[in-house]
Amino acid sequence: MSLKWTDSRELAIALLEAHPEVDPKTIRFTDLYNWILALPEFGDDPKHSGEKILEAVQMLWIEEAD
């Protein structure tokens, strides 16, 4: 199964596993975007992202990290 931009919680969990040393409260959206694109399980169109999507993923990553 490949992850899409709409899979916010799954993306957050994958990022938590890929970058356990990172505090998601301090990440820039440009880094977040690039890290999502680099996830092996990610398979959506890079152009379908936006600030609201990145913000949702970041909020869920913060929630999952706590």
For residue 15, the domain's CATH number is 1.10.10.600
Residue 12 maps to a domain:
yes
In a domain, 2, yes or no: no
pTM given for the model: 0.94
CB 46 within 8 A of CB 37: yes
Would you say residue 3 lies in a domain?
no
Number of domain units in the chain? 1
In a domain, residue 20? The reply is yes
**Residue 51 maps to a domain:** yes
Output the tens digit of pLDDT for each of the chain's 66 residues: 799 999 999 999 999 999 999 999 999 999 999 999 999 999 999 999 999 999 999 999 999 999
Q: Give residue 34's domain range.
A: 8-65
| 48 within domain boundaries | yes
